[in-house]
Amino acid sequence: MCAAKVERVAKLTECDVAELCDAASLAILDGGGFGWLEPPPRQTLEAYWRGVMLVPERELFVARLNGVICGSGQLVVPPKNNEAQKHYSALQHGFTAPWARGHGVGRMLTLEIELQARHRRIRVMNLDVRETQTGAIRLYKELGFTHWATHPHYAFVRGKWTPGLFFFKNLQETDAPPNSPPKPPAAPE
Ligand SMILES: CC(C)(COP(=O)(O)OP(=O)(O)OC[C@H]1O[C@@H](n2cnc3c(N)ncnc32)[C@H](O)[C@@H]1OP(=O)(O)O)[C@@H](O)C(=O)NCCC(=O)NCCS
At residue 174 the predicted structure's pLDDT band, cuts being 50, 70 and 90, is confident
**Residues near ligand 1 (Cβ within 6 A):** 27, 32-33, 93-96, 101-107, 129, 133-136, 138-139, 142
Between CA 131 and CA 95 the distance in angstroms is 15
At residue 176 the predicted structure's pLDDT band, cuts being 50, 70 and 90, is confident
- pTM to 2 decimals? 0.90
What is the per-residue pLDDT for 74? 98
Pick the CATH number of 4-170 from 3.10.20.30, 3.40.630.30, 1.10.150.530, 3.40.50.1820: 3.40.630.30
Tell me the pLDDT tens digit for each residue of 13-50. Answer: 999 999 999 999 999 999 876 789 999 999 999 999 99
Averaged pLDDT, 111-138: 96
At residue 189 the predicted structure's pLDDT band, cuts being 50, 70 and 90, is very low
DSSP conformation letters of 105-171: HHHHHHHHHHHHHHHTT--EEEEEEETT-HHHHHHHHHTTPEEEEEEEEEEEETTEEEEEEEEEEET
Q: Domain segments of the chain: what residues? A: 4-170
Averaged pLDDT, 134-148: 97
| Ligand 1, pocket-test mutation among 36, 101, 129, most atoms within 8 A of CB | 101
Residue 109 has pLDDT above 90, yes or no: yes
At residue 126 the predicted structure's pLDDT band, cuts being 50, 70 and 90, is very high
What is the per-residue pLDDT for 9? 97
